Structure 1
Amino acid sequence: MFHEYALAILHTNDRAEKAVHRAFLEILRHWDSLLTEPDLQEQIWQIMRRVVIGRRPRDSRQPRHWTSPPLGGAVQAIAKAKPRSSNRAPGKTLP
């Protein structure tokens, strides 16, 4: 169940296994205090979610609306655009 969740978010078996392992190490480290929680299962899932989401590749952390049409094309074009040369004299600022 945990591995399937991590795999759905991280998309590779290697990343999913590492994330689940990391989450279980954290759960083990906090096990005594987790046992006192009335909602143990929810606390474990919160740790799992935090670790898995924290392991996503940087490029997948960008909000979906920035990469999907119609903004996606514009954002990608701006990112690839070369800076324009300025016709202003050095040190001159815009009004």
Structure 2
Amino acid sequence: MLAKQANLLAKQVNLLAKHVNLLAKHVNLLAKQVNLLAKHVNLLAKQVNLLAKHVNLLAGQVNLLAKQLNLLAKKVNLLANNESGLMSNKTW
């Protein structure tokens, strides 16, 4: 009787060990997936930072274009004022 109980207990312990090993495999797989996810998140963060740099560069170029357009507008206004002055002189 005691031997049967000992054998049954041994079988239960072996089954428990198998379950623990299976759980360990699942935990290791989960750890690998988490590491892969972390790598993807880091790659995405690098891409976002690169995109931000490009957006900032584009903003600088837009600001430069705006300055050039303002300068052109001033030149056009000066030219218009000069032409206007010349025209008023001719009428006199």
Larger proportion of helix: 2
For normalisation by structure 2, the TM-score amounts to 0.23
TM-score by length of 1: 0.23
Q: Compare CA radii of gyration and give the structure with the larger one.
A: 2
